[in-house]
Amino acid sequence: MRRTRGTSTSSRTRRRTALVAAGLVAALAAGSAAAPAFAAPASAPHASVSASAKGTYGPDAEALAAALAGLPDHDITAALVRVGGHGSWRGTAGVRDVRTGAPALENARFRAGSVTKVVTAAIVLQLAAEGRIDLDGSVRRYLPGLLTDDFKEPITVRQLLNYTSGLKPGASLGDTVEVGYPHRFETLTPQQVVAASVARGPAYSPGTRQTYGNIHYTVLGLLIEKVTGDSYAHQAQVRIFRPLGMRHSSFPAAGDTGIHGPHNRGYDWIDGKLVDVTEWNMTDRFAAGDLISTTADLERFLVGLFRGRVVPEPQLREMFTLPDVPDAHYGAALERLEVNGREVWGKGGSRPGYTAAIAATKDLSRTLVYSANSTDAKGDGQQAAAQRLAFPAFNR
């Protein structure tokens, strides 16, 4: 692999980046002293491109470089992109810290949000392959006493996996970054999240609708712990991370607010000010969104999963099977998408200051993993980052 410098290193790009940074500094000038001030990056965005990426079937290096050009900007402070399959492309752009302008770290750890659900689904499907979980078995069978008498129809493990359980959302410390920020150091346990959901009763008959939400996978995390007699985090380590060599992936201990190891700081616009939101207690997200990882680790996971090295057949088919309900988009954790005319399966996720995604064609002719430090990750920023970073990865 050779390192190349493309349009993103031109003097025009450097000037544009500096102007964006200067504009953000001006926008923040009227803010509180605690708000971080933007600085221009110490070096321009860079990308590493393999020789095969220049072929007809390789990634569109020019479009990918253009997607990273100009970072940091109002919407994204840093981005890490890995494209693989028939040819590969690596890109890193933006800043590690807006106060210093230090360049973004290409090996940075980040909050992967709901990409966690794919790890959770893989563990459940492994347990099913081992005969320890029946996908058609009921939640009451594995977690007796969890559901009240209001749940007259059984909810199966498969319905949790494909978001058709009928459970309502659970407790939350804030549905937006603005509301949650004052509570970011508080702890809300998964048990409290689920208890609040159960207290609200069922939303609809299980297996009749698909409603995406964290609650399905929060329950699955509890189910994994019950069946194995072990913590969810340790099961992820021994079943997924260690076998695949994902040395930089982990789940924070309950109440731990930090990202340990090298990382790019996360920010969000709150009341017109750019606020550092890196430190945050994610205990309530648990098996639905608590993962900390790197793009290299997630690429290993994605490729290993699609090649059948993580979940064996026939259980792996659950991930690529949509339930027979109206407007279904998800199998077990994975979402089916059509991107530039290609069928793609993947999962995105976001936490304050961070948005991430994994995606691939089923034959692995094209894979994508990215992390973006979005300043509106829990709002429109997640979709904006996907359009900016994912679409170019699949445009040829």
DSSP string, 27-57: HHTTS-TTSPPP---SS--EEEE-GGGGSTT
Residues linked to residue 339 through DSSP beta bridges, in sequence order: 342
Q: Which residues of 87-121 are buried (b: 16+ CB within 10 A; e: fewer)?
A: bbbbbbbbbbbbeebbbbbbebbbbbbbbbbbbbb
CA dihedral 379, 302, 294, 213 (to 10 degrees): 30
Whole-number Å distance between alpha carbons of 155 and 292: 30
Contacts of 309 (CB under 8 A, 6+ apart): 244
DSSP characters for 239-262? IIIHHHT-TT-B-PPTT-----SS
- Catalytic residue, chosen from 114, 249, 293, 374, is 114
H-assigned helices in 148-237: 157-161, 177-180, 190-199, 215-228, 232-236
Q: What is d(CA 197, CA 153) in angstroms, rounded to the nearest whole number?
A: 16
Contacts of 150 (CB under 8 A, 6+ apart): 201, 202
Residues in contact with 117: Cβ distance below 8 Å, sequence separation at least 6, in sequence order: 217, 287, 288, 289, 333, 347, 349
- DSSP letter assigned to residue 169: P
| Cis amide prior to 206 (ω within 30 degrees) | no
Q: Is 32 a catalytic residue?
A: no
H or E segment and range at residue 16: helix 11-28
Q: Helix count (H) and strand count (E) of the chain? A: 13, 12
Q: Cite the active site residues.
A: 114
